[in-house]
Amino acid sequence: MTVIESIIRFLVVLLSLPAAYLLSVTVAAYLFRKENCTENRFLKIGVLIPAHNEEEGIRRTIRSVLACDYPSDRLEIHVIADNCDDRTAEAAGSEGADVAERTDANRRGKGQALDWFLKECRARYRDSEVITIIDADVTPDRNYLREISASFSQPGTQVVQAYNGVSNPEAGWRPGLIDAAFNVFNHLRMAGSCRLSGTCVLKGNGMAFSTGLLERTGWPCHSIVEDMEFSLRLLQEDISVHYNPDAVIRSEMVTSGKNASSQRSRWEGGRFTLVRNMGGPLMKQFAKTGRIRYLVALAELATPPLSLLVMLFMVGTAGSILLPDGPWMLVAGSWWAILVFYVVSGQIQRKAPLSTWMVLAAAPLYVLWKIPLYAAMLIRKKSSAWVRTTREAR
């Protein structure tokens, strides 16, 4: 056996691990059932919206929250106007939101803004029983707050994650593909991991917490992937993140390659850093306790983004062709079967519209677009600053 053949065999075995996880989580997602409460207690909910230069969209977001089917006397809206140099604070205030303005050039970022509000502005939100955090450019479904309240009406629930969807999937092939990806990553993976381990990861948007928990912790994570980092901290405290697929918020996705590249490179670059920092501790926790939730969290964190995984599968498949014995090609072929089952299942489970199914044909273009993005991430200097994603012109 040559050195090259040994390397290829090792690569095939290594790539079979994420494939096996995707198969497991897909099957588990079909078995997932939302926790149903016997009585919705209509808890008092504080909607917390961190905003950085969101003058144009903050009014629309506040109006969409007020349009939710929820008692107005059980709802408060708080906006953090963080390091803004536009009229975000005035716009939010004019729509009836409670606005907290923060200026701190040395501690910039969404995580820092949330931590400041939760620690320094307790009097503003202490009457709320639940706090849900949404971005300044989202539209919650009409029953969003009702579903959040129902989840927290379950005894023992401290953290809930909603489903993050796309509001403009028909605006182009990029938003359409992101809609398909969200059906997989923001639903199937969430439902599957909940079924496998009883918890899932936070998504940064559409998160909800018991007020007592946030009063105790503040927002201790300040990286670009503060949501995933906080998820792992909750896991270490044995606090489960529950998933409610019927609590839905939708965000507008950019259509231009330049804007989309900026957005995706920040998310995925921070995620790779977290894998390096948390992979070892999660493995140690699993070895120490034998609890499957640590292994699932490790698999969830370490499984590459779909585009990168496709690239790696392509390399592994090409390498397996060079091996003299046939079983290696069969293994590589199984990856692609699992991948199709995984992606198609996400669309089935979220009842994707026909437009989303059709745009899946553009997936190869999306993968090609991601190649220079990953290359740039290898050499680009990391930053944790809050960079507002450029919105589409209206």
Q: What is the pLDDT of residues 326-365, one digit of tens each?
A: 789 999 999 999 999 999 999 999 999 888 898 888 777 7
Q: Which of 293, 203, 278, 301 is nearest to 243 (CA)?
A: 203
- Opening angle at CA 183, ends 178 and 187, nearest 5: 135
Task: Check if CATH label 3.90.550.10 holds for domain 45-186+199-255.
Answer: yes
Q: How close are the terminal C-alpha atoms of the chain, in Å?
A: 61
Q: Which of 208, 186, 165 is nearest to 300 (CA)?
A: 186
Q: Which of 155, 239, 194 is nearest to 25 (CA)?
A: 194
Question: Strand order of the sheet with strand 130-133?
Answer: 98-102, 75-82, 45-51, 130-133, 207-210, 159-166, 241-251, 138-140
Which pair of structure tokens corresponds to residue 105? 């050039």
* Cα–Cα dist 232/228, whole Å: 6
Question: Do 328 and 320 form a contact (C-beta atoms < 8 A)?
Answer: yes
Per-residue pLDDT band for 188 (boundaries 50, 70, 90) equals very high
Q: What is the pLDDT of residue 390?
A: 55
Mean pLDDT value across the chain: 89
Higher local confidence (pLDDT), 184 or 280? 184
pTM of the complete model? 0.89
**Mean pLDDT, to the nearest integer, of 148-160?**
96
* SS3 call for 78: strand
Query: Where exactly are the structural domains of the chain?
Result: 3-31+272-379, 45-186+199-255
Main-chain dihedrals φ then ψ at residue 200, nearest 5 degrees: -145, -175
Q: What is the pLDDT of residue 393?
A: 45
* Cα–Cα dist 116/95, whole Å: 23
